[in-house]
């Protein structure tokens, strides 16, 4: 059997290795969207290694593989990414003795000759005092100077060209704005990566942000340099992602969920029941459209969830009367909008161009529409948007306080409780993975403290 690829029936040994590899990458702070690329570098190395087995690999084999990538024209960040993937694999997944003291000079020196002039300017960074005192009197808050406004618009255009989600777009724009306020570059050409590293140091030493926040800022700055400024950025000069910290999710007991939901009413209660009964994120719940509910087959279609993925979630029988009542209220709002000539609701993937009147059809209307009209930031038109997620978060928080719950409760706590209670009921982890919409089962394995029960069909815990 080929040791590199899976066979048609699946090789359980290698499947377990890849699961452990993905978990090790997460602990090392590598973003989930980069895991498949790292896996590809490892597979490429195993192909390069033939006929030797991976357990027979030596330091010279890794060095030769990286040299081959460099000679083949790979960018320096790709070679560094390949080295990092192999380091994680041979130190944390399939440990070998020589990898315990991983060499620091594996990346071929010839790659440095291909670095752009901007990267070479890194050595000219002004001397600093070091430590938190280095940033005395500096801040990343306040008004953005007018001279940077056009530059920020260019970043916004690049984000939309790369098809980033709207929330990611707003987050990255905020980080770039903060960076410009902090660094105060003279011009676009004067923006240097050492300033980005300096800003990341400020976030760590002065603002003391969490690892996740630091990595988010790093991703935004890497996008700025690679996609907008077209310059080298990232691990090429010693900047590494902060290690991801695994936190135990807050889970409510069944009786605590009952107490919480019983103290809610109206639309807020229905949304809480859906988040717990179907495992929805708060944004997924707020964005539900009429067409997403399938009462005949008893499931909800979640469109464009996290990572722009679709999935099906169970539709609890218990909420059917409430859903039908909410649909009637929503239909009244839709009918009034049609009478008033309001623009149709937002349509994904430019469907409003392909189907001009689809945004005004009942099936595309929101299940939880907002009471007020708002401006579409992309189209510049006044439309009916869905309910604000912050209002739902406040409703859940207040209900938790009234219920006397001492745990930090948010809408996402209901999703954690959904997954845990399914596993307690005997559902297998693969089923829960699909219902939650996780790309990798290692993400779902955080709930495995209740595994070891007999398998059974996944039924919404709200119906038990």
- Which residues are part of the catalytic machinery? 281, 306, 412, 415, 438, 447
Q: Tell me the backbone φ, ψ of residue 315, rounded to 5 degrees.
A: -100, 110
Angle at 182 between CA 177 and CA 186, to 5 degrees: 90
Task: Return the number of other C-beta atoms located less than 10 Å from residue 294's C-beta.
Answer: 12
C-alpha dist (Å) from residue 64 to 61, 92, 104: 5, 21, 15
Pull the structure tokens for residue 47: 């192909």
Contact 404, 262 (CB under 8 A): no
Q: Which helix (H) or strand (E) holds 299?
A: strand 299-302
Cis peptide before 51 (omega within 30 of 0): yes
C-alpha dist (Å) from residue 65 to 70, 72, 98, 373: 9, 11, 16, 58
Pull the structure tokens for residue 290: 């009429």
Nearby residues of 303 by Cβ (< 8 Å), 6 or more positions away? 287, 289, 292, 310, 348
Contact 435, 422 (CB under 8 A): yes
Q: Which helix (H) or strand (E) holds 302?
A: strand 299-302
Strand partners, 386: 369
Pull the structure tokens for residue 247: 């936190």
Q: Is 425 helix (H, G, I), strand (E, B) or coil?
A: coil
Go through the chain and tell me how many residues it has: 464
Q: Tell me the backbone φ, ψ of residue 36, rounded to 5 degrees.
A: -65, -35
Instruction: State how far the Cα of 60 lies from the Cα of 58, in Å rounded to an integer.
Output: 5
Q: Tell me the backbone φ, ψ of residue 410, rounded to 5 degrees.
A: -130, 170
Listed residue (36, 189, 170) closest to 117, CA to CA: 189
Instruction: State how far the Cα of 39 lies from the Cα of 196, in Å rounded to an integer.
Output: 29
Contact 300, 288 (CB under 8 A): yes
Pull the structure tokens for residue 179: 């960076």
């Amino acid at each position: 059997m080929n040791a590199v690829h899976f066979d048609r029936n699946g090789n359980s040994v290698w499947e377990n290795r890849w699961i452990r590899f993905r978990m090790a990458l997460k602990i090392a702070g590598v973003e989930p969207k980069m895991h498949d690329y790292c896996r590809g570098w490892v597979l490429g190395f195993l192909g390069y290694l033939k006929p030797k087995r991976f357990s027979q690999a030596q330091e010279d084999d890794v060095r030769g593989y990286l040299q081959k990538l460099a000679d083949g024209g790979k960018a320096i960040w790709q070679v560094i990414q390949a080295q990092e993937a192999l380091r994680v694999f041979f130190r944390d997944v399939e440990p070998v003795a020589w990898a315990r003291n991983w060499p620091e000079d594996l990346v071929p020196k010839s790659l440095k000759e291909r670095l752009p002039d901007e990267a070479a300017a890194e050595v000219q960074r002004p001397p600093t005092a070091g430590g938190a005192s280095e940033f005395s009197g500096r801040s990343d808050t306040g008004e953005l100077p007018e001279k940077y406004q056009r530059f920020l618009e260019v970043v916004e255009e690049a984000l939309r060209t790369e098809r980033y989600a709207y929330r990611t777009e707003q987050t990255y724009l905020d980080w770039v704005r903060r960076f410009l306020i902090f660094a105060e570059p003279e011009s676009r050409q004067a923006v240097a990566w050492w300033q980005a590293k300096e800003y990341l140091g400020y976030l760590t030493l002065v603002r003391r942000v969490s690892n996740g926040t630091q990595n988010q800022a790093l991703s935004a700055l890497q996008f700025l340099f690679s996609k907008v400024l077209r310059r080298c950025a990232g691990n090429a000069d010693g900047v590494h992602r902060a290690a991801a910290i695994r936190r135990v999710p807050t889970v409510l007991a069944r009786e605590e969920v009952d107490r919480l939901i019983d103290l809610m009413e109206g639309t807020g209660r229905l949304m809480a029941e859906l988040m717990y009964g179907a495992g929805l994120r708060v944004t997924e719940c707020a964005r539900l459209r009429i067409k997403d509910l399938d009462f005949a087959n008893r499931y909800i279609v979640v469109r464009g969830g996290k990572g722009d993925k679709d999935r099906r979630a169970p539709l609890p029988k218990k909420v059917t009367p409430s859903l039908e009542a909410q649909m009637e209220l929503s239909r009244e709002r839709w009918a009034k909008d049609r009478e008033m000539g309001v623009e149709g609701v937002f349509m994904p993937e430019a469907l409003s161009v392909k189907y001009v009147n689809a945004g005004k059809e009942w099936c595309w209307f929101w299940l939880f529409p907002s009471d007020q009209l708002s401006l579409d930031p992309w189209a510049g038109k006044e439309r009916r948007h869905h309910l604000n997620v912050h209002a739902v978060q406040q409703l859940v928080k207040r209900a938790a306080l009234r219920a006397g719950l001492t745990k930090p409760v948010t809408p996402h706590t209901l999703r954690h409780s959904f997954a845990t209670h399914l596993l307690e009921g005997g559902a297998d982890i693969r089923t829960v993975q699909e219902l939650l919409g996780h790309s990798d089962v290692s993400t779902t394995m955080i709930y495995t403290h209740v595994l070891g029960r007999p398998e059974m069909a996944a039924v919404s815990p709200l119906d038990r």
